[in-house]
Structure 1
Amino acid sequence: MGSSLFSNLLKSIEQGRFPRAQKWVWRRLYNLLSRFWRDEDWRFMNYGFVPEGVPFPLKPEDEPERVFIGLYQQAVENLPVAGLRVLEVGSGRGGGSRYIARYHAPASVVGLDYSQATVARAKSLNAGTPSLSFEVGDAERMPFPDGAFDVVVNIESSHCYADVPAFAREVARVLAPGGWFTFADMRARASLAELDDQLGAPGLEKMGERDLSAGVVAALDAAEARKRERIGRLRLMRRFMSEFSGSRGSILYKGLATGQVAYVARRYRKVG
Structure 2
Amino acid sequence: MASRLFASVLDIATPGKFPRAQKWVWRRVYNLLSLFWTDADWRFMNYGYLPEGEPFPLKPEDEPERVFIGLYQQAVAGLPVEGARVLEVGSGRGGGSRYIARYYSPSSVTGMDYSPDTVRRARRLNDDTPGLSFENGDAEAMPFGDESFDIIVNIESSHCYGDVPAFGREVARVLKPGGWFTFADMRPKNQLTALDEHLAVPGLELVERRDISARVLAALDAAEARKSERINRSWGMKRFMSEFSGSKGSMLYKGLKNGSVVYVARRYRKL
**TM-score computed with the length of structure 1 as normaliser:** 0.98
Question: Could you say which residue in structure 1 is the equivalent of 2:238?
Answer: 238
Paired with 1:222 and 1:20, the residues of 2 have a C-alpha distance of 36
Deviation at 1:13, TM superposition (A): 3.8
Matched residue pairs, number? 271
Paired with 1:12 and 1:121, the residues of 2 have a C-alpha distance of 26
Note if contact 2:15-2:162 (Cα within 8 Å) is conserved in structure 1: no
Matches within 5 A, 1:141-220: 141-220=141-220
Return the letter of the residue paired with 2:125.
L
The 3-state SS of whatever aligns with 2:127 is coil
* 2:19 is the alignment partner of 1:19: yes
Note if contact 1:14-1:188 (Cα within 8 Å) is conserved in structure 2: no
Deviation at 1:15, TM superposition (A): 6.7
Return the letter of the residue paired with 2:52.
E
* 2:132 is the alignment partner of 1:132: yes
Paired with 1:190 and 1:159, the residues of 2 have a C-alpha distance of 14
Return the letter of the residue paired with 1:223.
A
The 3-state SS of whatever aligns with 2:100 is helix
Deviations 1:168-205 (A, max 9, x none): 00000000000000000000112111100001111000
Paired with 2:10 and 2:79, the residues of 1 have a C-alpha distance of 33
Question: Which aligned runs of 4 or more in structure 1 are off by greater than 6 angstroms?
Answer: none
More off after superposition, 245-254 vs 25-34 = 25-34
Deviation at 1:14, TM superposition (A): 3.9
Return the letter of the residue paired with 2:258.
T
Paired with 2:14 and 2:210, the residues of 1 have a C-alpha distance of 21
**TM-score computed with the length of structure 2 as normaliser:** 0.98
Matches within 5 A, 1:58-73: 58-73=58-73
Deviation at 1:12, TM superposition (A): 3.8
Unaligned runs of 5+ in 1: none
Matches within 5 A, 1:222-261: 222-261=222-261
Note if contact 1:89-1:153 (Cα within 8 Å) is conserved in structure 2: yes
Question: Could you say which residue in structure 2 is the equivalent of 1:53?
Answer: 53
The 3-state SS of whatever aligns with 2:53 is coil
The 3-state SS of whatever aligns with 1:223 is helix
The 3-state SS of whatever aligns with 1:266 is strand
Identity among equivalent positions (%) equals 72
Paired with 2:99 and 2:229, the residues of 1 have a C-alpha distance of 25
Give the superposed CA RMSD.
0.9
Paired with 1:210 and 1:118, the residues of 2 have a C-alpha distance of 29
Question: Could you say which residue in structure 1 is the equivalent of 2:122?
Answer: 122
Question: Could you say which residue in structure 2 is the equivalent of 1:110?
Answer: 110
Q: 1:15 to 1:125 in 2, by over 3 A?
A: closer
